Structure 1
Amino acid sequence: MHTQFLIGGFPLSRTVVIDPVLLSKVSKPARYVGGEWNSVVKNHEDVKLTVAYCFPDVYEVAMSHLGLRILYALLNERDDVAAERVYAPWPDMEALMRQKGYPLYSLETKTPVVDFDFVGFTLQYEMSFSNILNMLDLAGIPMFSKDRGEDMPLVVAGGPCAYNAEPLADYIDLFCLGESEESVQLLADTIIEWKEQGKPGGKKGLLKTLATQQGNYVPAFYTPHYTADGAFDFLEVTEPGVPATIEKCVVADEEHVFFPTKPIVPNIDIVHNRAVLELFRGCSRGCRFCQAGMLYRPVREKTPEHLVQLARQIIDNSGYNEISLMSLSSADYSCLPELVDQLLEEFKDQKVSVSLPSLRIDSFSIDIAKKVQQVRKSGLTLAPEAGTQRLRDVINKGVTEENLMQACENAFRNGWSTVKLYFMMGLPTETDEDLAGIADLAYKVLNLYRQITHKNNGKVTVSVSSFVPKTHTSFQWFGQLPVAEIERKQQYLKSLIRDKHISYHYHDARTGHMEAAFARGDRRLGAVLYEAWKLGCKFDGWTELFDYDKWLTAFKNAGVDPDYYAARTRDVDEPLPWDHLADGASKAFLKREWQRALQGELTHDCRHLSCTGCGVCNELGVSIVDHKEGEASHGKTTFSC
């Protein structure tokens, strides 16, 4: 298993070598071999810091994640750091590893994860938490941070789920909040300096230094307290000198921030196997259910000229024939028409297509859609989110049925025949009338197609997810509906859709129940997670592997009620377990938005109108950057909050 091995012409002291005959017995063995085009292999003896970036999901999902691509390429730009990738092995590969004694290893140099200086996990989805425990166990790293000795790597985690770090607090040494392009450099510098100085104070000394830096949360330095009836009361700071509130890191200058132009080209097909351009960070639309819209404020755009330069380098270095224009709401990019024209002109002789994965109904332009699909045509995807105008106003969606029908009419008149509509179910104040509105909209869209084209080959797909209340949103206080009620609603809507040209898909309500419990959980859920892992829970985001009964057993074994976290509507003034993890938006603003939601009142987009008072720009010292009509307008829409 461990042997001297040559990679890239240099020796490595400890590597994992798996018999190819054994590897051929698992599904998709290419997941585990590395060697992809543009991957970076360094000699660990030539660097001062080694980093294992871990994504707690399978190769195809992990390789599609832009955030990890950015940090991997960014750290490997440094001569003194080697960053490598580690993904969760599929159950067949895990069984082989456990049977033969293979530890979890990196793809680049096949180095055991336990031999790295720090191990970083990305937290994108609550239902991947069990995979984190499983990966630590496979790596031979004690799961609980309190059990790790000085010889163990530092275990770090970041991503959107870090804004409620408490369910994982027992397992992670350090959480990093916010955008990491700048803070990860400081993190690397701090660890290298600590090592070169002889590791003063041991690992605790390092964590104490890191805890004083913006965005860094060391849960071991804080102790939660609960009331006599078991409610969360407050978080006590137990280590002198560390902050009571951890404020996220944010990149003010999106135009010049590092962006990778040599993407790793996967060995096998992955979920999003294409070049990616990030148009801007943030979203100011203010949809009240959307956590990402709050966490990544404010809007900061790149210029079209810079984006075209990046696109040229990415295509030249990867050979991709498709560029995805990615942001939370790509059609809100202020220079989108100009950018699309420039990209199509740049690649007109290479058959490189441009795709817009995220569209809003009210900002949809058929002219842009026609342009981007000159090379490769696809269906049209829109997200009304709710079936009636009343409920769309509750969630502050800010679009109308007229917007939807106008967009669909334009599309049908220009050759589209397939439309996919995204909705949510179980939203605050929702009634069966709102659900009936989903079916009604689907029929109206289909009938519109038939009316315009005089054909009967149109197709409307209705995809409905169950609402999960998330922290740092104005819906964080709302209790999720019981599983039985969600399932009743799903069947009710199904009964209203009888046309074979309308497809109806919905998400598993039981998975959403577990997701909600961990999304709004406190530190006591760490015990539940451990019980679930012992019962064999893993890859819980995958329908075929999710076992609801095991999770309920885990909650029972830990003496915890999942509905206390998932289904309980909370008082707006009660202390919340994540209050110390700040994204810049004030709690007062979220309370106002919750009250406006209950009144069905809209809140305007602060990007082009007056400030709505969320507090992010003032709190973090960052301004909106909007290149309207090609001119940078740093902070032009920022007013005193």
Structure 2
Amino acid sequence: MSVLSQIEPLLLQVQKPAQYIGGEVGSIVKDKSQVAVRFAFCFPDTYEIGMSHLGMKILYGATNARKEYWCERVFAPCADFEALMREHQIPLYALESLDPVREFDMVGFTLQYELSFTNILNMLDLAGIPLHAADRGENLAPIVVAGGPCVCNPEPLADFFDLFIVGEGEEVNLELMDLYREMKARGAGRRAFLQEAARIPGIYVPSLYTVAYHEDGTIREMIPHDGAPQTIQKRIIPDLDHAFYPDTLVVPFTETVHDRAVEEVLRGCLRGCRFCQAGFLYRPFREKSPETINRQCRALCDNTGYQEISLSSLSTSDHSRLSETLEELLPYTESHRVNLTLPSLRVDNFSKELMERIQGVRKSSLTFAPEAGTQRLRDVINKNVTEEELMRTADIAFSGGMTNVKLYFMMGLPTETLEDIAGIAALAERLIDHFYQMPDRPKGRGIQISISCATFVPKPFTPFQYEPQICREELEKRQAHLLESIQPRNRRKIKVSWHTYEISLLEAVLARGDRRLGQVIETAWRSGCKFDSWSECFSYEKWEAAFSACGLDPTFYANRQRAYEEIFPWDHLDYLVDKAFFAAENKAAHASCTTPHCRIKCAGCGVNRKIGRACF
């Protein structure tokens, strides 16, 4: 019985059935008999989240541009549809062909967030693929692979994957598929393929490494064997102007989180914020030319019919030719009635000219991330944003008619004090005072400040990878102090929200964990954990029980100060930035010293030495 005939009678019993049927405009269907390798691209979250992911759009297009390869999309089913799938024994399937995932040559997951790990096990189980790589036998297919930012420390998932793709995947994914095609034709088995795959730069095969531990639980040594390299250096795309970028996208039938066209304008970040993992993982900083950006934006809008396009990056306003880009792009967007959005704008380079250019884009709200409430703590984290710059930007925004301001902060940053917490409230209140002192403020409208406080999560490949995460009791003390610090007259104008502590704790554990956590993840999943990033689905009690059952302590991973000389679970992966640089930046943080961004002065992180050229 085909999957289609199985799911058709069930679709009216679930919410948003359009996410399970495929057939969208822009989806690619090929003749299976003409395809040499089939790749199932699995996003371990729902369709509406996964279809907003830029990486999937790029790799979907790049793979399908090769006529001999076919990439199809797979998403985690929501609870209502999963229950029906299990009841009617419907396997996890891909949307283009509706074929079961277990029939594919390669099954690839993107690791975007640590709290999706149980969803990965759930999807493998739904697909009928053995959870453990060691249990998949010598048959070549399916090879289970993973890429994405969380591959910077894949050790908690090492038992479940055949291999990991380290770094940017546009080129290495195709090299891996080329090897698979060749070895499939030769009748090779799984182990022979994995040994050959480990020779491709950027491919990490965890089964070719053994971990030895000290008595205190820290790592003593990572031991490669069977010719595997000592370290695996990440892959990068050196020239974005000549890299593959899709000229069309799959257009969903149903609404998604970011329901628009997306143009990546640059990759990397030059700022060096010490808490920000993405800013270091994606180095070096690379820009597309205005000509490329404009050509790709026009193609995406013309081919998809989207009436909104976002210029996406970690810091869009850091593009050195943004003004020139907008000068060319705005006549097109205005004449075609396409809304242009510019996320990731920074306080220190938000100008009146830029405000005027995006006047039709954001008329009511502005979002900034000071991250810390005092200049001292902003210096610690190397945010390099001053209160004067924030007020100047607010002045421009208020003059342009914006009255809703969203401010993002973190609690539990290294060296943070109650004075820094009170500074969050003080900063919001100074914005309010500034608004009402402006003679040209929007008339008849009040200001509303939304403060969102995330719990600081120390991450690998950052200067704060050595730091402990704050404990719950201390966090609750700081949260109470923030509320008490807001003056009564401003409490209706300031709204405060924060993330669930236990979710941030688990994120910290999984982010810096080792291979021993694989048994915890599996135990938690077997007890019913999935969609852990969704507060309504999250059960820390089940995770606590899983840690206890496996004899592991989450505080060892989350709340422990690490020595500079400690060997980390991810030290065999090379993301181009030197570990010595991270240690030096950590020391600078504790001395409240800032490091200029890369355009001002090279900080000597090591990237330019490893790529063999200057970053700029």
TM category (shorter chain) comes to: over 0.9
Query: In structure 1, how many angstroms separate the alpha carbons of the residues matched to 2:528 and 2:278?
Result: 31
Counterpart AA for 1:401: E
Query: In structure 2, how many angstroms separate the alpha carbons of the residues matched to 1:378 and 1:101?
Result: 49
Match of 2:572 in 1: 580
Cα shift at 1:378 = 4.5
Counterpart AA for 1:602: T
Q: Indicate how the Cα distance of structure 1 residues 511 and 492 shifts in structure 2: closer, same or farther if over 3 A, else same.
A: same
Q: How many residues are paired up?
A: 609
Query: In structure 1, how many angstroms separate the alpha carbons of the residues matched to 2:45 and 2:475?
Result: 27
Q: Indicate how the Cα distance of structure 1 residues 553 and 418 shifts in structure 2: closer, same or farther if over 3 A, else same.
A: same
Q: Which of 92, 102, 105 in structure 1 is aligned with 2:93?
A: 105
Q: Write out aligned runs for 1:309-328 (5 A).
A: 309-328=295-314
Query: In structure 2, how many angstroms separate the alpha carbons of the residues matched to 1:79 and 1:466?
Result: 46
Counterpart AA for 2:164: F
Q: Write out aligned runs for 1:546-565 (5 A).
A: 546-565=538-557
Structure 2 counterpart SS, 1:181 = helix
Q: Does 1:377 align with 2:368?
A: no
Cα shift at 1:175 = 0.3
Deviations 1:213-272 (A, max 9, x none): 111100000010011232221111122x21010100011111110011111111111111
| Kept in 2: contact 1:158–1:176 (CA 8 A) | yes
Structure 2 counterpart SS, 1:513 = helix
Query: In structure 1, how many angstroms separate the alpha carbons of the residues matched to 2:69 and 2:180?
Result: 11
Q: Does 1:177 align with 2:163?
A: no
Query: In structure 1, how many angstroms separate the alpha carbons of the residues matched to 2:246 and 2:109?
Result: 20
Cα shift at 1:367 = 2.1
Q: Write out aligned runs for 1:194-343 (5 A).
A: 194-199=183-188, 202-239=189-226, 241-343=227-329
Q: Which moved more, 1:339-348 or 1:475-484?
A: 339-348
Query: In structure 1, how many angstroms separate the alpha carbons of the residues matched to 2:594 and 2:339?
Result: 37
| Kept in 2: contact 1:112–1:139 (CA 8 A) | yes
In structure 2, list runs of 5 or more residues that go unmatched: none
Counterpart AA for 2:14: V
Query: In structure 2, how many angstroms separate the alpha carbons of the residues matched to 1:568 and 1:98?
Result: 41
Cα shift at 1:377 = 3.3
Match of 1:567 in 2: 559
Q: Write out aligned runs for 1:163-174 (5 A).
A: 163-174=152-163
Q: Does 1:344 align with 2:333?
A: no
Query: In structure 2, how many angstroms separate the alpha carbons of the residues matched to 1:527 and 1:548?
Result: 16
Counterpart AA for 2:111: L
Identity of aligned residues (%): 49
| Kept in 2: contact 1:353–1:372 (CA 8 A) | no
Q: Write out aligned runs for 1:483-498 (5 A).
A: 483-497=472-486, 498=488
In structure 1, list runs of 5 or more residues that go unmatched: 4-14, 625-634, 636-641
Q: Write out aligned runs for 1:186-201 (5 A).
A: 186-199=175-188
Deviations 1:448-503 (A, max 9, x none): 11221265511111111111000010000001011222233223212333421212
Query: In structure 1, how many angstroms separate the alpha carbons of the residues matched to 2:601 and 2:317?
Result: 21
Deviations 1:322-356 (A, max 9, x none): 11111100111111111112111122222111111
Structure 1 counterpart SS, 2:169 = coil
Q: Which of 609, 612, 615 in structure 2 is aligned with 1:618?
A: 609
Cα shift at 1:376 = 6.0
Counterpart AA for 2:542: K
| Kept in 2: contact 1:353–1:376 (CA 8 A) | no
Q: Which of 429, 448, 456 in structure 1 is aligned with 2:415?
A: 429
Q: Does 1:367 align with 2:391?
A: no
| Kept in 2: contact 1:353–1:373 (CA 8 A) | no
Counterpart AA for 2:161: I
Q: Which moved more, 1:447-456 or 1:402-411?
A: 447-456
Q: Indicate how the Cα distance of structure 1 residues 107 and 212 shifts in structure 2: closer, same or farther if over 3 A, else same.
A: same
Query: In structure 2, how many angstroms separate the alpha carbons of the residues matched to 1:400 and 1:376?
Result: 23
Query: In structure 1, how many angstroms separate the alpha carbons of the residues matched to 2:358 and 2:426?
Result: 30
Q: Indicate how the Cα distance of structure 1 residues 16 and 141 shifts in structure 2: closer, same or farther if over 3 A, else same.
A: farther
| Kept in 2: contact 1:104–1:135 (CA 8 A) | yes
Q: Which of 100, 103, 111 in structure 2 is aligned with 1:115?
A: 103
Structure 2 counterpart SS, 1:462 = strand
| Kept in 2: contact 1:289–1:470 (CA 8 A) | yes
TM-score normalised by the chain length of structure 2: 0.97
Q: Write out aligned runs for 1:584-595 (5 A).
A: 584-595=576-587
Match of 1:518 in 2: 510
Cα shift at 1:431 = 0.6
Counterpart AA for 1:43: D
Query: In structure 2, how many angstroms separate the alpha carbons of the residues matched to 1:191 and 1:621?
Result: 30
Q: Write out aligned runs for 1:51-130 (5 A).
A: 51-130=39-118
Counterpart AA for 1:84: E
Q: Which moved more, 1:271-280 or 1:482-491?
A: 482-491
Match of 1:470 in 2: 459
Counterpart AA for 1:596: A
Match of 1:417 in 2: 403
Structure 1 counterpart SS, 2:597 = coil
| Kept in 1: contact 2:333–2:340 (CA 8 A) | no
Query: In structure 2, how many angstroms separate the alpha carbons of the residues matched to 1:328 and 1:164?
Result: 21
Q: Does 1:49 align with 2:37?
A: yes
Q: Which moved more, 1:422-431 or 1:335-344?
A: 335-344
| Kept in 2: contact 1:379–1:417 (CA 8 A) | yes
Counterpart AA for 2:61: A
| Kept in 2: contact 1:16–1:111 (CA 8 A) | no
| Kept in 2: contact 1:40–1:76 (CA 8 A) | yes
Structure 1 counterpart SS, 2:170 = coil
Match of 2:8 in 1: 20
Query: In structure 2, how many angstroms separate the alpha carbons of the residues matched to 1:249 and 1:20?
Result: 42
Structure 1 counterpart SS, 2:33 = helix
Deviations 1:120-173 (A, max 9, x none): 000010000000000000000000000012344000001111010100000010
Query: In structure 2, how many angstroms separate the alpha carbons of the residues matched to 1:238 and 1:317?
Result: 49
Structure 2 counterpart SS, 1:17 = helix
| Kept in 2: contact 1:487–1:509 (CA 8 A) | no
Structure 1 counterpart SS, 2:242 = coil
| Kept in 1: contact 2:364–2:401 (CA 8 A) | no
Counterpart AA for 1:618: R
Q: Does 1:137 align with 2:125?
A: yes
Q: Which of 527, 534, 537 in structure 1 is aligned with 2:529?
A: 537
Structure 1 counterpart SS, 2:182 = helix
